[in-house]
Structure 1
Amino acid sequence: MQAQLETLSGLERRLSFSVPREEIGKQVDARLKRVAKTAKIAGFRPGKAPIKIVAQQYGFRVQEEVLGETVERSFGEAVQEQKLQVAGYPRFEPKADAAEDGDFQFIATFEVYPEVAIGDLTGKEIEKPTLTISDAEIDKTVDILRKQRTRYERVERAAADEDRVIIDFKGTIDGEPFNGGSSDNYAFLLGKGQMLPEFEAGIRGMKEDETKDVEVNFPADYHGKDVAGKTAVFSITVKNVAAALLPEVNEDFAKAMGIADGDVTKMRDEVKKNLEREVRFRLKARAKENVMTALIEAAPVDLPKSLVGLEIGRLAEQAQADLKQRGIDPKLVPFSPAMFEAQAQRRVHLGLVLAELVKANGLEAKPEQTKAIIADLAENYEDPADVIAWYYEDRQRLAGPESMALEDNVVDFVLSKAKAVEKPVSFDELMGQQG
């Protein structure tokens, strides 16, 4: 088979090649004979129709199948001969000026993988975040756990921030009720921004069984288009005011947290252990992100548009699946490729760089590393042994931990070459909490 390769621009290539018409004819004849053995054709018993009639009914489809398979195989042989690494999927087209009675001629347009050269990492500064868990972080976490178990008790005073209030309200705009403007026995926490500021301000200071009219101006960008930018008057009746009561940190609280004997010290030790594990994961994730950014900066490379396009498609599918899981119809959320382009480019870039770095430096995950990561993940569950067994029951389940081990190897390798600069981070910043 003769093939001619051209460089179009950057990573794009064009390969012209031919497929002998005689070879295609032989394959079509052979396949038609196999089809004829089971073909169902009106007026003939299965397998008894003349080959000419079988060809009339199935010939075109069979030739398309044979030609498609042969073109793909011929293309694969050609790129192997040329020692090309094809990125994405090629686009096949028949050659426009090919003779009708000659060999089949095709043009394949495709991209190749770029050469990846990773620059010198020596001396490059990479931030490595640090945090040591102290009693203050344990206290803050215990306080969060207490708030998660808050109960509310009715009070006879005026409503204040942090209270749970139950109200009836009826809203009107220009004296007319509007959709979504009324509700009975509506409960919410005052001062948490769950309602519009003017609405909450009107309720603040009201007592049980008190009724008041409150004027509320809807913002111009309010999500409800029917009321956006308009002024409404709400008639509000407070049905109940309840103060928040947090549980005391005592034996009962410790038992509720899973400490069988109710020992508060043991509970705090368990909180510290869980915090240290979570902090370790988050610190590793941040360090990894900084290392990956450094690698991208150290290895500029042309990205195959086809790979970026495929990654955009995957990201869009993930986003749609996430919406479905949350009960949102993806059709209601407009997606455009531009929304995912930057993320797709970064992921493709990293994929190319990591593949080269791992191959060149033997950074593949070792079985013992994968085993240690699975054991660490299993510690988050009540029965770690069951979790470990679950991972090893299916080879595909090991892909995640193996990927984590490989990334750990990359991070350690890069930090050993570069200059790691430790940077303390606050607990709230790392955990994404407000102070």
Structure 2
Amino acid sequence: MQVSVEATSSLERKMTITVPAHRIGDEVKKRLEETAKTAKIDGFRVGKVPVNVVNQRYGQGIRKEVVSEKVRECFYEAVTKEKVTPASPPNIEPKIDKPGEDLQFIATFEVLPDFDLADLKQVKVSIPSAEVKDSDIDVMIDGLRKQHANWIEVDRPAAHGDEATIDYVGIKDNKEFDGGTAENYPIEIGGGTAVAGFEDGIIGMSVGDEKTLPITFPENYQSEELKGASVEFKIKLNLLKEPSLPDLNDDFFALFGLKTGGEEVFRSAVLHNMQRDLKNALEGKTKGRVMQELFNLHDEIEVPLTRIATEISGLKQQMAQKLAGDGGENNFDPSLLPDEMFEAQAKRRAIVGLVVNEIVQSNQMDVDGTKVRVKIQEIAAGYDKPEEVIKYHYDSPELLKSIEANVLQEQVVEFVLSQAVVTDESVDYQQAVTPDPDQVSENS
């Protein structure tokens, strides 16, 4: 087998591979002979069909199958021989593909970049800590009551906590901008789902009122077009509702599966769930800060375009799922979202993925099986039959692979923290469960 490699850019490679004709011909002959043993062709008994007849009937398809397999096989032989690491599957272009002649094809692909890991002693991370207080439980219970509230239409000026149904049109540079227009859009005032200043701007409006609201988007906003942009929203209030909260009684507690014990048992259950969520949030926040530091130290790494494209695709899917709602009632096509909206975040995630992988490889890290089992047991603890959930995870290769990847990331975080400059940061519950802005994650 002959191999030549051409660098068409800093990361792209064009590899020309020539495969000796006998590697194809020998395998085709072998499969024709095997097929002849079982082929059913009119005029011949099974096992007595001449190979040349089988070749006439099946030869083209068998050769196509063999060529496809040999292309994959020879490509990976070639990259191993040339000591290059593809960042993605290759684009294959056949050049010579004729029976009896050497097979030749061109594989075009990107390679992983060569880079040196920064000194991890430069990493500076503050590790947050928090506890659940009685006042936090009260806030959580109020939130649960609000989730089961009856919303009653009211005729008064809008206030914090109301649900407003509005029409709005976003104007930038005297033109409407994409994604800035909606009709009869429900929004909770104070819910924090809109850009800062938008919800507060509705306060004081009455049904039928219209106003123009000046808004400045943050510099870290997802859309490149709107980062730091000053715009105006023309808003009309169509409907206003306030919540009527349910009482804390047995009927309300039963909504959460509690049939006995009253408010004391209910508060205990809420505390347990909040402590679990707090633990996960603190771990996630610490992990995010470590990943952000790794990105900051390696932000000049050149990233393969295919890696960025993969990250963009994943981010689009995540956004589409959010837009579809929990029940998927609003089916949303992720292809409608512009790539530009996710490019910066995708590049950051791709860089972090490369750095994490380099840390794993250079330190010969393997996933800790004990930690994997602990992680699965934690997941299973929330189910009625935890042993069945544990078995399901171990019997599902893709699911187990996902858990192992998550545990390996946690091991990387522990490794980085062991060398980093670490400080403690005491925060309240709400601060702890609120993700840091611009937090970078690594999910590959």
TM-score of the two chains, using structure 2 as the length reference: 0.67
Determine the C-alpha separation between the residues in 2 that align with 1:395 and 1:233: 51
Specify which of 366, 371, 378 is matched with residue 369 of structure 1.
371
| AA aligned opposite 1:278 | D
1:299-345 CA distances to partner (integer Å, 9 max, x unpaired)? 35332223333444454456556666623344596134434433433
Q: Which residue of 2 aligns with 1:277?
A: 276
Paired position in structure 2 for 1:356: 358
Q: Contact (CA 8 Å) 2:129, 2:432: kept in 1 or not?
A: no
Change in CA separation of 1:215 and 1:346 when aligned onto 2, cut-off 3 Å = closer
User: Quick one: which amino acid aligns to residue 347 of structure 1?
Assistant: R
CA deviations 1:207-249 (Å, max 9, x no partner) are: xxxxxxx576899xxxxxxxxx999999x9xxxx998654555
C-alpha separation in 1, matches of 2:235 and 2:132: 50
In structure 1, distance between residues paired with 2:152 and 2:316: 46
Alignment-derived partner of residue 420 in structure 1: 422
- Asked whether the 8 Å contact 2:206–2:237 carries over to 1, the reply is no
**In structure 2, how many angstroms separate the alpha carbons of the residues matched to 1:129 and 1:80?**
45
Structure 1 contact 91–109 (Cα < 8 Å) conserved: yes
Please say if residues 5 and 15 of structure 1, whose CA atoms lie closer than 8 Å, have aligned partners that are also in contact. Answer: yes
Amino acid paired to 2:367: A
Return the alpha-carbon distance in structure 1 between the equivalents of residues 401 and 18 of structure 2.
Answer: 41
Deviations 1:67-109 (A, max 9, x none): 333333233222222233222122333458x999963333322
Q: Show the counterpart of 1:262.
A: 261
Tell me the SS of whatever aligns to 1:87.
coil
* 1:205-244 alignment runs, 5 A limit: none
Distance 1:66 1:379, change over 3 A: closer
Alpha-carbon separation, structure 2, partners of 1:130 and 1:215: 45
Which residue does the alignment assign to 1:224? none
For residues 288-327 of structure 1, what are the structure 2 equivalents within 5 Å? 288-299=287-298, 300-316=300-316, 326-327=328-329
SS at match of 2:366: coil
| Paired residue type of 2:82 | Q
Counterpart secondary structure, 1:16: strand
Aligned partner of residue 75 in structure 1, secondary structure: helix
- Identify the residue that residue 223 of structure 1 maps to in structure 2: none
1 CA distance for matches of 2:417 and 2:189?
A: 48
5+ unaligned residues in a row in structure 2: which ranges? Answer: 164-182, 214-232, 436-444
The 1-side partners of 2:190 and 2:323 are apart by: 29
- AA partner of residue 351 (structure 2): H
Change (3 A) 1:26 1:256: closer
Q: Does 1:11 align with 2:11?
A: yes
Report the Cα distance in structure 1 between the residues aligned to 2:236 and 2:432, rounded to whole angstroms. Answer: 41
Q: Report the equivalent of 2:74.
A: 74
SS in 2 for 1:352: helix
Alpha-carbon contact 2:15-2:106 (below 8 Å) kept: yes
Bigger CA drift: 272-281 or 247-256? 247-256
* 2:93 is the counterpart of 1:93: yes
The answer to whether 1:106 aligns with 2:105 is yes
Q: Which moved more, 1:47-56 or 1:59-68?
A: 47-56
State whether residues 156 and 206 of structure 2, in contact with CA within 8 Å, keep that contact through their aligned partners in structure 1.
Answer: no
Q: CA, structure 1 residues 53+430, in 2 after alignment: closer, same or farther (shift >3 Å)? A: same
The equivalences for 1:356-435 within 5 A come to: 356-381=358-383, 384=386, 387-392=389-394, 394=396, 396-432=398-434
Which residue identity lines up with residue 404 of structure 2 in the other structure?
E
For 1:306, give the aligned amino acid: T
Given residue 367 of structure 1, which amino acid in structure 2 is its aligned partner? G
- Tell me what 1:334 maps to: 336
CA distance in 1, matches of 2:246, 2:289: 41
The count of residues paired between Structure 1 and Structure 2 equals: 390
Distance 2:100 2:392 in 1: 61
Quickly say closer, same or farther: Cα 1:242–1:338, change in 2 above 3 A. closer
Question: Aligned-pair distance for 1:57?
Answer: 5.2
In structure 2, the CA distance between the partners of 1:265 and 1:419, relative to structure 1 (3 Å rule), is: same
SS at match of 1:9: coil
Classify 1:33/1:402 alpha carbon distance in 2 versus 1 (closer, same or farther; 3 Å).
Answer: closer
SS in 2 for 1:89: coil
What is the CA deviation profile of residues 109-146 of structure 1, one whole-angstrom value per residue up to 9, with x for unaligned ones? 22222334221121432232332322221222232233
Is contact 1:13-1:112 (8 Å) kept? yes
1:1-46 deviation digits (Å, cap 9, x = unpaired): 23223333322223333222355344444444545566677x7557
The answer (yes or no) to whether the contact 1:151–1:244 under 8 Å persists in 2 is: yes
Give the drift of 1:285: 0.9
**Partner residue in 1 for 2:229:** none
Q: Secondary structure at the match of 2:17?
A: strand
Alignment TM-score, normalising by the size of structure 1: 0.68
Label 1:304 to 1:134 Cα distance change in 2 as closer, same or farther (>3 A): same
> Unmatched 5+ residue regions in structure 1?
166-180, 204-213, 220-228
* Inter-CA distance 259–295: structure 2 relative to 1 (3 Å threshold): same
Larger Rg: 1
Say which SS state the counterpart of residue 301 (structure 2) adopts: coil
Residue type at the aligned position of 1:281: N
**Aligned-partner residue type, residue 271 of structure 1:** V
